[in-house]
Amino acid sequence: MASMCLDEGEEIVFVDIKLVHKIHQIALREGGLAGSLKIADIESALGRPQNAHLYNGERDLITLAAYLWHGVSSAHGYCDANKRTALLTAIAFLEANGVEIDENVDSKEPGRFVLEQYKSKTFEIPILDKYLRPRCRWIQE
């Protein structure tokens, strides 16, 4: 599948902990217990796509979003809504870098996908990348 990299010289925009906290508040609108458990683990998860970029030269935005999605979800840094927060964080990262999820994707589909992956113990970066890639496109200006 096609690579989704920014042009050479364009800076990748990474999300910060303040944005993730705001996203978590949005995720809680669907229900759940407010509060955080391990902020340091969330911050570490935010560093995973940055490390992949800086040390491995990864420039593909979908792959970096998969690192982020996996990291935030696996960190279990909040009392509840970790999986929702992680997906929304990955989407925010993509949008900040000019990529959006196709509007034709059923809004409940990602949730079903995540639950299926957790149940089958296949919630892994390559699987998340493969899921996101056909559902993303460049934002048209």
CA R_g for the chain: 14
The more confident residue out of 1 and 79 is: 79
pLDDT at 126 over 90: yes
What is the residue-wise DSSP string for 1-19? ----BPPTTPPPPPP-HHH
**pTM exceeds cut of 0.85:** yes
Residue with tokens 């929702």: 84
| Residue ranges of domains in the chain, CATH in brackets | 17-138 (1.20.120.1870)
pLDDT-above-90 percentage for the chain: 71
Distance linking the first and last C-alpha atoms of the chain: 23
Average pLDDT over all residues of the chain: 92
